[in-house]
Homo-oligomer: A and B are copies of this chain.
Amino acid sequence: MRQGCINILQVCRINIFDYFCTMMKRRNTATQEAVLAVLTSKRRAMSQDAIVKQMDVRADRATIYRILNRFCEDEIVHKIVADDGKQYFAVCIKCDEKTISNNHFHFRCTKCETIECLPTIVEFSAPQNYKVQQMNCVLVGVCKDCD
Protein backbone atom coordinates (compact mmCIF):
# COMPACT_ATOMS: atom_id res chain seq x y z
CA MET A 1 0.00 0.00 0.00
CA ARG A 2 1.52 3.26 -1.09
CA GLN A 3 1.26 6.04 1.38
CA GLY A 4 0.01 8.55 -1.09
CA CYS A 5 -3.10 6.42 -1.08
CA ILE A 6 -3.91 7.37 2.47
CA ASN A 7 -4.74 10.92 1.53
CA ILE A 8 -6.98 9.77 -1.29
CA LEU A 9 -8.76 7.46 1.11
CA GLN A 10 -9.28 10.28 3.55
CA VAL A 11 -10.76 12.46 0.87
CA CYS A 12 -13.05 9.63 -0.20
CA ARG A 13 -13.98 8.99 3.47
CA ILE A 14 -12.97 5.36 3.28
CA ASN A 15 -11.79 3.91 6.59
CA ILE A 16 -8.04 3.74 6.26
CA PHE A 17 -7.59 1.05 8.82
CA ASP A 18 -10.15 -1.31 7.26
CA TYR A 19 -8.54 -0.79 3.90
CA PHE A 20 -5.13 -1.45 5.41
CA CYS A 21 -6.30 -4.69 7.03
CA THR A 22 -7.66 -6.06 3.78
CA MET A 23 -4.72 -4.95 1.67
CA MET A 24 -1.96 -6.12 3.98
CA LYS A 25 -3.85 -9.13 5.31
CA ARG A 26 -3.61 -7.89 8.86
CA ARG A 27 -6.18 -8.62 11.54
CA ASN A 28 -8.52 -5.90 12.65
CA THR A 29 -7.71 -5.22 16.29
CA ALA A 30 -8.64 -2.34 18.54
CA THR A 31 -5.04 -1.63 19.52
CA GLN A 32 -3.76 -1.35 15.98
CA GLU A 33 -6.69 0.85 15.01
CA ALA A 34 -6.05 3.10 18.01
CA VAL A 35 -2.35 3.50 17.19
CA LEU A 36 -3.09 4.44 13.60
CA ALA A 37 -5.87 6.78 14.71
CA VAL A 38 -3.50 8.70 16.96
CA LEU A 39 -0.83 8.95 14.27
CA THR A 40 -3.22 10.12 11.56
CA SER A 41 -4.97 12.64 13.78
CA LYS A 42 -1.82 14.17 15.21
CA ARG A 43 0.01 14.31 11.89
CA ARG A 44 3.30 14.41 13.75
CA ALA A 45 6.07 11.94 14.36
CA MET A 46 5.48 10.46 17.77
CA SER A 47 7.39 8.27 20.16
CA GLN A 48 5.91 5.14 21.65
CA ASP A 49 5.20 6.76 24.99
CA ALA A 50 3.62 9.82 23.39
CA ILE A 51 1.35 7.55 21.37
CA VAL A 52 0.29 5.53 24.42
CA LYS A 53 -0.64 8.71 26.28
CA GLN A 54 -3.01 9.69 23.47
CA MET A 55 -4.63 6.28 23.18
CA ASP A 56 -8.02 5.45 24.62
CA VAL A 57 -7.28 1.73 24.59
CA ARG A 58 -4.64 0.41 26.98
CA ALA A 59 -1.92 -1.78 25.51
CA ASP A 60 1.46 -3.20 26.34
CA ARG A 61 4.63 -1.38 25.41
CA ALA A 62 5.95 -4.36 23.46
CA THR A 63 2.70 -4.57 21.55
CA ILE A 64 2.83 -0.92 20.53
CA TYR A 65 6.37 -1.38 19.26
CA ARG A 66 5.36 -4.50 17.35
CA ILE A 67 2.46 -2.65 15.77
CA LEU A 68 4.64 0.30 14.82
CA ASN A 69 7.30 -1.91 13.30
CA ARG A 70 4.62 -3.77 11.39
CA PHE A 71 3.29 -0.47 10.05
CA CYS A 72 6.82 0.35 8.93
CA GLU A 73 7.16 -2.98 7.12
CA ASP A 74 3.85 -2.34 5.42
CA GLU A 75 5.08 1.13 4.58
CA ILE A 76 2.19 3.11 5.95
CA VAL A 77 4.43 4.63 8.62
CA HIS A 78 8.07 5.63 8.66
CA LYS A 79 10.52 5.76 11.49
CA ILE A 80 12.82 8.63 12.42
CA VAL A 81 15.52 8.46 15.04
CA ALA A 82 15.89 11.87 16.58
CA ASP A 83 18.95 13.41 18.16
CA ASP A 84 17.63 12.29 21.54
CA GLY A 85 18.20 8.71 20.39
CA LYS A 86 14.51 7.88 20.47
CA GLN A 87 12.43 6.40 17.68
CA TYR A 88 9.57 8.46 16.32
CA PHE A 89 6.89 7.23 13.96
CA ALA A 90 4.85 9.17 11.43
CA VAL A 91 2.25 8.45 8.79
CA CYS A 92 3.67 10.17 5.79
CA ILE A 93 3.13 10.76 2.15
CA LYS A 94 5.09 8.90 -0.47
CA CYS A 95 3.65 8.32 -3.87
CA ASP A 96 6.68 7.45 -5.91
CA GLU A 97 7.94 3.87 -5.62
CA LYS A 98 11.50 5.00 -6.19
CA THR A 99 11.90 7.64 -3.52
CA ILE A 100 13.27 6.90 -0.09
CA SER A 101 10.46 7.08 2.43
CA ASN A 102 12.49 9.31 4.69
CA ASN A 103 13.64 11.70 2.00
CA HIS A 104 12.43 14.83 3.75
CA PHE A 105 13.60 16.89 6.68
CA HIS A 106 12.13 16.49 10.12
CA PHE A 107 11.86 19.19 12.69
CA ARG A 108 12.08 18.46 16.38
CA CYS A 109 10.80 21.24 18.57
CA THR A 110 12.58 21.26 21.90
CA LYS A 111 9.70 23.07 23.57
CA CYS A 112 6.63 21.04 22.60
CA GLU A 113 8.71 17.89 22.15
CA THR A 114 7.11 16.89 18.90
CA ILE A 115 8.61 16.02 15.56
CA GLU A 116 7.13 17.29 12.38
CA CYS A 117 7.68 16.12 8.82
CA LEU A 118 8.73 19.16 6.83
CA PRO A 119 7.76 19.42 3.18
CA THR A 120 11.40 20.08 2.30
CA ILE A 121 13.08 17.26 0.42
CA VAL A 122 16.68 16.61 1.45
CA GLU A 123 19.03 17.59 -1.34
CA PHE A 124 22.31 15.84 -0.89
CA SER A 125 25.29 15.06 -3.02
CA ALA A 126 27.20 12.14 -1.64
CA PRO A 127 30.81 11.74 -2.79
CA GLN A 128 31.49 9.45 -5.71
CA ASN A 129 30.87 5.74 -5.19
CA TYR A 130 28.84 6.26 -2.07
CA LYS A 131 25.47 4.48 -2.22
CA VAL A 132 22.80 6.20 -0.17
CA GLN A 133 19.99 3.84 0.78
CA GLN A 134 18.42 5.62 3.72
CA MET A 135 18.55 8.96 5.37
CA ASN A 136 17.66 10.39 8.73
CA CYS A 137 17.70 14.17 8.85
CA VAL A 138 16.44 16.10 11.81
CA LEU A 139 16.54 19.83 12.33
CA VAL A 140 16.23 20.85 15.95
CA GLY A 141 14.95 24.09 17.37
CA VAL A 142 11.75 25.91 18.19
CA CYS A 143 8.68 25.60 15.98
CA LYS A 144 6.35 28.42 15.02
CA ASP A 145 3.73 27.49 17.60
CA CYS A 146 6.18 27.65 20.48
CA ASP A 147 7.96 30.82 19.51
Contacts and interface: CB of A to CB of B under 8 A. Distances in A.
Interface stretch (A4-12, A16-24, A61-69, A116-124): A116-124
A86 interface: yes
Given A105-B124, A126-B118, A139 B135 contact: yes
Contact of A135 (B124, B127, B140, B143): B140
Interface stretch (A30-38, A48-56, A77-85, A91-99): A77-85
Contact of A123 (B110, B123, B140): B123
Interface of A: 81-87, 105, 107, 110, 118-120, 122-144, 147
A118 B135 CA distance: 14
18 contacts: A81-B81, A85-B86, A118-B126, A118-B127, A119-B127, A120-B124, A120-B125, A129-B147, A130-B139, A131-B141, A131-B147, A132-B141, A133-B142, A134-B139, A134-B140, A135-B138, A135-B139, A136-B140
A120 B135 CA distance: 14
Nearest to A126: B139
A133 B111 CA distance: 12
A63 B5 CA distance: 50
A141 B124 CA distance: 13
Contacts of A147: 129, 131
A132 B136 contact: no
Contacts of A132: 107, 139-141
